[in-house]
Structure 1
């Protein structure tokens, strides 16, 4: 078999393959014999028709099937013979396939790029240093209480944190506008569910009052006719309820699985442990993010388009899952979430995958199975039935494989950090866990 590879452009390759006529003829004959063994032709018993009759009846079909088989068989042989590493499936063009002659075809594909990593010691890492303080514990305790709050009718003026029920009608220069009317709308004041001017304008008013509030729309508001405008809202405040937090009593402690007799101190200890666990996870995630971003920035890599095309559907399905689009027909996903939305993310993910693979190869990183077990233990500990969760993962190879990939990636990060001295950076717990949240003034 003759094999010749030519570079067309970048990572694209054209591999020309010539399969000897003898191999083609043999494959066609084998196909015809299969037809002969089960053929039912008029005047002949099943499987007893003369071979010449079989050739006349099924020759063309056998030849086409044989060519398909030969291409499927010889493509991996040719790749191995040529010593190339294709990225993605090839596009095959048959260029010669006459009966009795050699079969010729061209396989078009991309190859994986050759990667030479820059020195990994050049990474500059900031390690978050975060103390879990009493204020953090208190905030979590109060959040647990708020999650089980009750609402009681309030006769006095509304305050931030209260829940108001109201009707409103917005006008702009005396004219009502689309989307500016609401009936029996419920707002938690201070929660930023609505524009700040509207929520703030309700504070200080009591149920039964009717009043007007000027509401300024931001310059980047989604409705073009309201951008940067100030509208007047006529408000009828129907009801105000104030939240009442539950006492930290035995019933409340039991709901949060605090040991009997441990009291509020036991709840606070449990909250501290949970926050420290989140802190440790947040520190790992920040370190990992820094390392991978710098690995990517320090090692530009040419990316095969075939791999990007494979990654985009996976990203789309992840987005579908996050956006709760289970009821949307699958054939509509690409229309609602086109490829262009995921192009940049796919490029980054593929590039990182290639670089991580190179680190694994050059640094001889091997999966630590004990870390896989530890990761599964930590994940299962967040559920009420941890043993069932572990059994569920172990019974599903694809989920266990995902966990192994995550652990191996963490090992790569550890390898990259091992040659670097990080600089400590003090952060609050909120700054660590909510880096995108604006600083409170």
Structure 2
């Protein structure tokens, strides 16, 4: 039972306005306590330190001053007492918004736990198409062509020069009778569009053989950047060698050279499997995003602004950790180099943080409706099957055995993943257990082997 006069009003976005009126007797007691401290801090003529009577202190300092000091003394205590009396479950620290002095009344704004209604999530359906086999075949051929290009070389050829060849020439150029350019070993690649000196210069070599000489004249383009723009040049050239860009076939020899594999078929299969795996991840991620967007579109969420700030703090910490794991500087240092303030970067992340928060809230609501559970066996497997080194695995096991908070975080993570997998299964039209009938996986009987499932990502385990 409390002697406080408490009124509360639920505001938008899960905020509660809590008004707490302090009893006059408790206000008077707090003011006298403030006066007693003031008697020790200040000098009052005619009285020894700490001995000035209450009415003298009120006359000297003023009732308003003592009331303010009393309010400072009482604020936190009355807030805690009022929260208990009003049975309010706060999501975060409350904020003192104002004080009325007569009677002494505190006004607090309190963030309440977020709420979410996932809507009819069990009726959500979106088609799942899987990997596009035609696109996979096209990407496979692109990879093969890229490998062939990487191992292509210039090979000498016994034929006339063609556009695109690598031609080694000797050349002498005269302008107005003076030699302005001379080179006995110059490599050019004749090109019909992006010419070397002039369009006629490149075309002059087409059809020539190694050892053949030729003389010709041509104007340097007037709009070009040559030192002799607009002037006529007389060229004496000799083709010394002709090479063609030879792209090797995709055969066993190339497989051995490119990947140390015995056959082209083996290399093709590896490329195919890696492409399929990568494309499968892309397809699954794209499908997941579409499903979650559709889920959020039918759901409703209500949360205090501080919930978004918490989510932003988590995202910033994750980004900072990723930078450090990559061997880069901290996020703060990266922002300094890019001349970006943390506030600006934070605002850039805000839309993603809000969407991430909404998804977490909706999935949590689904977890509660479906009564999803996680067993101790699933908790232990979540890090025991992950690809950690022995030292990290030992550290995680110690946390799991001795740290209740770590177990709780790990359980929340696994529940979130179960909820997400359930939504995806429903969207694909797969058969799933009815709400309340989900069963957690338990340890198999001794000696029985159970195939391992993919563990949670390392990101979820770094807590």
Q: Given the two structures, how large is their TM-score scaled by the length of structure 1?
A: 0.52
Identify if the C-alpha distance between structure 1 residues 68 and 9 changes in structure 2 by more than 3 Å, giving closer, same or farther.
same
Look up the match of 1:293: 293
Residue 91 in structure 1 maps to residue 98 in structure 2: no
CA contact (8 A) 1:316 1:337 kept: no
Unaligned ranges ≥5, structure 1? 43-48, 163-201, 213-231, 424-441
Give 1:299 shift.
1.5
Q: 1:81 aligns with which of 81, 85, 90?
A: 85
Identify if the C-alpha distance between structure 1 residues 317 and 234 changes in structure 2 by more than 3 Å, giving closer, same or farther.
farther
Look up the match of 1:408: 415
Look up the match of 2:196: 209
CA contact (8 A) 1:127 1:287 kept: yes
Look up the match of 2:122: 121
Corresponding residue SS for 1:329: helix
Residue 354 in structure 1 maps to residue 357 in structure 2: no
Pairs within 5 Å for 1:160-199: none
Identify if the C-alpha distance between structure 1 residues 276 and 72 changes in structure 2 by more than 3 Å, giving closer, same or farther.
farther
Unaligned ranges ≥5, structure 2? 58-63, 167-188, 200-222, 227-243, 431-463
Corresponding residue SS for 1:365: coil
Cα deviation 1:230-279 (Å, max 9, x = unaligned): xx9979xxxx99999994338944xxxx8xxx876666665565455545
Give 1:17 shift.
1.3
Which structure carries more relative contact order (alpha carbon 8 Å, separation 6+)? 1
**Count of equivalent residues:** 335
Q: Give the distance between the partners of 1:308 and 1:7, measured in 2 at CA.
A: 19
Identify if the C-alpha distance between structure 1 residues 250 and 153 changes in structure 2 by more than 3 Å, giving closer, same or farther.
closer
Q: What's the C-alpha RMSD, in Å, of the aligned pairs?
A: 5.9
Identify if the C-alpha distance between structure 1 residues 419 and 349 changes in structure 2 by more than 3 Å, giving closer, same or farther.
closer
Give 1:401 shift.
8.1
Give 1:296 shift.
0.7
CA contact (8 A) 1:367 1:407 kept: yes
Identify if the C-alpha distance between structure 1 residues 121 and 61 changes in structure 2 by more than 3 Å, giving closer, same or farther.
same
Look up the match of 1:16: 19
Identify if the C-alpha distance between structure 1 residues 409 and 5 changes in structure 2 by more than 3 Å, giving closer, same or farther.
same
Q: Give the distance between the partners of 1:274 and 1:389, measured in 2 at CA.
A: 28
Look up the match of 2:341: 333
Q: Give the distance between the partners of 2:163 and 2:407, measured in 1 at CA.
A: 52
Give 1:92 shift.
0.1
Give 1:105 shift.
0.7
Corresponding residue SS for 1:361: helix
Give 1:297 shift.
0.9
Q: Give the distance between the partners of 2:53 and 2:246, measured in 1 at CA.
A: 89
Q: Give the distance between the partners of 1:410 and 1:203, measured in 2 at CA.
A: 60
Q: Give the distance between the partners of 2:69 and 2:277, measured in 1 at CA.
A: 60
Identify if the C-alpha distance between structure 1 residues 295 and 335 changes in structure 2 by more than 3 Å, giving closer, same or farther.
closer
Give 1:107 shift.
0.4
Give 1:358 shift.
1.5
Look up the match of 2:106: 105
Q: Give the distance between the partners of 1:207 and 1:125, measured in 2 at CA.
A: 50
Identify if the C-alpha distance between structure 1 residues 71 and 152 changes in structure 2 by more than 3 Å, giving closer, same or farther.
farther
Give 1:122 shift.
1.7
Pairs within 5 Å for 1:218-229: none
CA contact (8 A) 1:137 1:268 kept: no
Q: Give the distance between the partners of 2:98 and 2:89, measured in 1 at CA.
A: 21
Give 1:362 shift.
2.2
Residue 71 in structure 1 maps to residue 75 in structure 2: yes
Corresponding residue SS for 2:19: strand
Give 1:2 shift.
2.6
Which has the greater radius of gyration?
A: 2
Give 1:289 shift.
2.3
Pairs within 5 Å for 1:111-150: 111-112=112-113, 114-130=115-131, 135=137, 138=140, 142=144, 145=147, 149=150
CA contact (8 A) 2:288 2:424 kept: no
Identify if the C-alpha distance between structure 1 residues 287 and 399 changes in structure 2 by more than 3 Å, giving closer, same or farther.
farther
Greater displacement, 293-302 / 410-419: 410-419
CA contact (8 A) 2:291 2:427 kept: no
Q: Give the distance between the partners of 1:278 and 1:95, measured in 2 at CA.
A: 60
Corresponding residue SS for 2:301: coil
Cα deviation 1:17-71 (Å, max 9, x = unaligned): 13446666777899999999xx9999xxxxxx98648998xxx999978755643
Give 1:91 shift.
2.3
CA contact (8 A) 1:125 1:421 kept: yes
Look up the match of 2:446: none
